[in-house]
Structure 1
Amino acid sequence: MGITTAWAISAHDDAFIGTLAPRLRPLIAAEGAEPLARVRWERWSRRPLPDHRTWWDRSVGPARATDRELESFLELTASGEHVQKMYDGLSSDDGFCVLPDVWERISDPDHLFVSVQSKDYAIRSLFHAIGPERAALLPGWCGNFLLTSAEVRDTLPRVEEALGFTPQERAAAQDQDWLDYGEGEERVLDGPLRMWRLAAAEGLGLCGVSVTVY
């Protein structure tokens, strides 16, 4: 049975970020505190995966990733059970859900980056494309974060470092980003940095959530 996932980054004023904080921040902290999640991150950091085209087709170039390493990375970058509660309406007694109560609040499309994928996770392709050293510069845990406007400004230099590329670096990253993009659709290599720059310029905070939709 297939899945559909969504990774969204939305910009909000600090007042709304404050209402989200007690709901979302404990869930993100719980994701990063999972012992197995930390093991998976360390495993990937020590030994990044090779060209994605070798993962399942071992006839394409040298395959250096073991099945365990591949499975570990796939589990690391899947949506976690804690933040998933924000989509399922299970994180609180009032049924608060990130779709109607966060994403659908956005009236200006420039204030939202969203990547919807079938049978895959957008954060997975982004992390593989940029590698663990750059991914470690991004705040939060595996695409999930909640930042005030001040925190957006403070973290912008690190995000610029993570997602800023020379032409050669960008070509290499795009080669390892396997997602299919429709006309005008924003790439995972572009949308997050755009959102950080926009939020910093407009004095807004950011909410990032990666979930399985169904």
Structure 2
Amino acid sequence: MGITSAWSISAHDDAFIATLAPRVLPLIAAERNEPFARERWDRWRREPLPDFRTWWHPFGQSDGRDADALKSFGQLTASGEHIQKMYDGLSPEDDFCLLTHVWDLVADVEDIFLSVQSKEFALRSFFHAIGPDRAALLPGWCGNFLLTSAEVRQTLPLIERALGFTPEERAVAEDQDWLDYRDEEESVLDGPLRMWRQAAADGRGLCAVSVIVY
């Protein structure tokens, strides 16, 4: 899989969130309403995947039922074609692009969580590490969401439940997060909760997208 992907969560004031809403919310709805999206989600909730080290090869190279489950999970957690348009800039109406019109406008490094992965999706490892019950507490669809400051405050208790771990739970989650982190690189188990807490304290909204960057 020769791709590089990025999962970002960035903080913005409500005025900017309002300008994004007509673009982003329909794309998230389109991802959720894809014909097989709910089927894949329900399958993962019914059949959480085992320790990733038991997979013969991720996402379709094993045999039988396990291969089907891995393929379904891989499709669920890959960048969707609708959200991908935010990065590719393929809107027929204008030249809007996630890179220049959202990411480049973030002035403070603390106002964004960004996980860039080669030949992998950060969201995929994150979802596997926390499991379907915790993932179900996140708003939006499969790591993509757009929230006003009020919605950030309203959802923070759910995110605390989803991403607040006991030491034992944290060890289990870390064991199932297969991403390799460089020095000072923020873990997918840390960045999302940090962003929620910070945005709630600052009275800001959040924009999250999972895309292929090249």
Q: What range is the shorter-chain TM-score in?
A: over 0.9
- Contact in 2 for aligned 1:6/1:115 (Cα 8 Å): yes
TM-score by length of 2: 0.95
In structure 1, the residue matched to 2:72 is 72
Question: What is the rounded CA distance, in whole Å, between the counterparts of 1:171 and 1:195 in structure 2?
Answer: 21
- Contact in 2 for aligned 1:135/1:162 (Cα 8 Å): yes
Q: CA deviation at 1:94?
A: 1.1
Give the AA of the match of 2:95: G
Q: CA deviation at 1:35?
A: 2.2
Question: What is the rounded CA distance, in whole Å, between the counterparts of 1:132 and 1:91 in structure 2?
Answer: 32
In structure 2, the residue matched to 1:60 is none
**Superposition RMSD on alpha carbons, in Å?**
1.5
Q: CA deviation at 1:53?
A: 0.5
Q: CA deviation at 1:70?
A: 0.5
Question: What is the rounded CA distance, in whole Å, between the counterparts of 1:131 and 1:164 in structure 2?
Answer: 13
Identical-residue share of aligned pairs (%): 71
1:2 aligns with 2:2: yes
1:121 aligns with 2:121: yes
Question: What is the rounded CA distance, in whole Å, between the counterparts of 2:154 and 2:46 in structure 1?
Answer: 28
Misfit runs of 4+, over 2 Å = none
Gaps of 5+ in 1: 58-62
1:12 aligns with 2:12: yes
TM-score by length of 1: 0.95
In structure 2, the residue matched to 1:201 is 201
Equivalent pairs, count: 210
Q: CA deviation at 1:135?
A: 0.1
Instruction: Say if 1:168 and 1:64 are closer, same or farther in 2 by CA, change over 3 A.
Output: farther
Instruction: Say if 1:197 and 1:64 are closer, same or farther in 2 by CA, change over 3 A.
Output: farther
Q: CA deviation at 1:92?
A: 4.5
1:120-139 to structure 2, matched below 5 A, reads 120-139=120-139
Question: What is the rounded CA distance, in whole Å, between the counterparts of 1:132 and 1:201 in structure 2?
Answer: 28
